């Protein structure tokens, strides 16, 4: 196994304390938004043999396994993150695989540099993702039922919002949602800014279910994304609960610390709540106008102690182990590559023969065991025998990211 050294991204919306608190380090005073674990070219993890991207490129079959390479090519198909939202993220969607390939190719033909701030498609991959809460976590995800959104807008008592509320009563529902979102994002900016300011004042006065929108307007005054956000479901996750986001699902994370896993992509289409590039026409082309419950996921436990977050995606598979001090080591040997991340306590990870009894497994502090503390991670090549257990006679939590093959 290889211990990983990971990059922390200082995006403006990041918490200044959540990731340092997890790692047990002193805050720098700067936002620390995401810690990336993987081989994405934007910030590949490093290990003793070089960057993870270079190590995989040198021998993909050895590191990823033949089945992963045959299915996804010679690249690690997932990216794992610790995400710490101290302020709202942008209102955004991700493309499906066909849209990503088409968009990437078009921008390549247009000669737009991959790192250009106005570029939409940084790669040719889709970006389905899963967020699992480590602390209470709040976000917006998927469209509300149009009548519920109409009631929320009408409750503000603002004349300029009444036409949108009326439109949401039209049928079919998908057409109503499309028409309202398009109208909000395409409205005259000065007129919409005045509406947002009026809505923010009403939301602040009303409180309760309107509180998140007052907070959004505080961070992004006059932004039409504040009104667009009211079309979405408000979701509150407790630690251990998760949310899956497929292609075309509009969403924005508001606050909290979580583990995020996604297909290895950085494709984001934004329509508001951000100083970054916004492309309303492209977002409207990609977004899926489907109302419904976003569906909170809870892990499904197995006899082996693994708690799986079940998703319809093969590029990644996320599970959790809650390790008790008295329990036998858990065997995590797999034919696919893995990243293991400790989030509480201490975890002793050791290489095994595949035939070693629990009593013979290396313990914490022994030469062939690696002890992980919160925020520390390791990369396990495909086929490597690996066993884990709680160290120092205290409970521990470990997340396991791998490929569903």
Q: Alpha-carbon distance 44 to 118, whole Å?
A: 23
Contact 212/254 with Cβ under 8 angstroms?
yes
DSSP secondary structure of 227-254: HHHTTEEEEEEPTT-EEEE-TT--EEEE
For residue 233, the tally of other CB atoms under 10 A from its CB is 20
Contact 390/323 with Cβ under 8 angstroms?
yes
Q: Six-digit token pair at 116?
A: 């250009």
Catalytic residue among 46, 119, 144, 270, which?
A: 270
Q: Alpha-carbon distance 267 to 247, whole Å?
A: 11
- Give the 3-state secondary structure of 47-68: ECCEEHHHHHHHCHHHHHCHHH
Q: Is 109 a catalytic residue?
A: no
Q: Alpha-carbon distance 378 to 334, whole Å?
A: 14
- Within 8 A by CB and 6+ apart from 102, the residues are none
Q: Alpha-carbon distance 81 to 87, whole Å?
A: 17
Token look-up 């093959």 returns 405
Q: Alpha-carbon distance 405 to 403, whole Å?
A: 6
For residue 281, the tally of other CB atoms under 10 A from its CB is 12
- Distance from chain centroid for Cα 302: 24
- CA torsion 379-384-388-391 (nearest 10°) is -60
Contact 11/33 with Cβ under 8 angstroms?
yes
Catalytic residues: 270
């Amino acid at each position: 196994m290889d211990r990983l050294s990971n990059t922390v991204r200082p995006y403006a919306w990041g918490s200044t304390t959540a990731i340092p608190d997890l790692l047990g380090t002193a805050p720098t005073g700067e936002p620390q938004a995401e810690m990336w674990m993987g081989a994405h070219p934007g910030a590949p993890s490093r290990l003793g043999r070089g960057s993870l991207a270079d190590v995989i490129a040198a021998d993909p079959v050895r590191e990823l396994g033949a089945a992963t390479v045959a299915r996804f090519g010679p690249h690690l198909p997932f990216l794992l993150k610790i995400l710490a939202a101290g302020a709202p993220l942008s209102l955004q969607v991700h493309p499906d695989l066909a849209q990503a390939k088409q968009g990437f190719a078009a921008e390549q033909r247009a000669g737009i540099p991959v790192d250009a701030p106005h570029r939409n498609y940084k790669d040719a991959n889709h970006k389905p993702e899963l967020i699992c809460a480590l602390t209470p976590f709040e976000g917006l995800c998927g469209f509300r039922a149009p009548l519920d959104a109409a009631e929320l807008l009408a409750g503000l008592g603002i004349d300029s919002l009444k036409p949108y509320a009326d439109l949401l009563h039209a049928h079919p529902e998908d057409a109503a949602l499309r028409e309202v979102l398009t109208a909000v994002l395409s409205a005259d900016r000065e007129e919409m800014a005045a509406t947002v300011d009026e809505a923010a004042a009403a939301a602040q006065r009303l409180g309760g279910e309107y509180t998140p929108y007052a907070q959004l307007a505080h961070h992004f005054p006059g932004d039409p994304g504040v009104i667009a956000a009211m079309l979405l479901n408000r979701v509150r996750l407790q630690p251990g609960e998760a949310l899956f986001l497929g292609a075309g699902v509009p969403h924005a994370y508001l606050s909290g610390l979580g583990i995020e896993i996604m297909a290895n992509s950085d494709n984001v289409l934004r329509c508001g709540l951000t100083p970054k590039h916004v492309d309303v026409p492209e977002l409207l082309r990609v977004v899926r106008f489907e109302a419904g419950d976003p569906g909170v996921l809870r892990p499904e436990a197995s006899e082996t102690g693994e708690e799986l977050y079940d998703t319809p995606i093969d590029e990644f598979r996320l599970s959790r182990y809650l390790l008790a001090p008295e329990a036998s080591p858990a065997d995590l040997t797999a034919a696919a590559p893995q990243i293991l991340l400790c989030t509480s306590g201490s975890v002793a990870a050791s290489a095994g023969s595949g035939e070693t009894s629990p009593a013979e497994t290396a313990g914490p502090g022994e030469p062939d065991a690696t002890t992980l503390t919160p925020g520390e991670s390791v990369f396990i090549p495909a086929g490597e025998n690996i066993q884990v257990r709680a160290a120092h006679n205290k409970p521990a939590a470990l997340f396991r990211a791998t490929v569903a093959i």
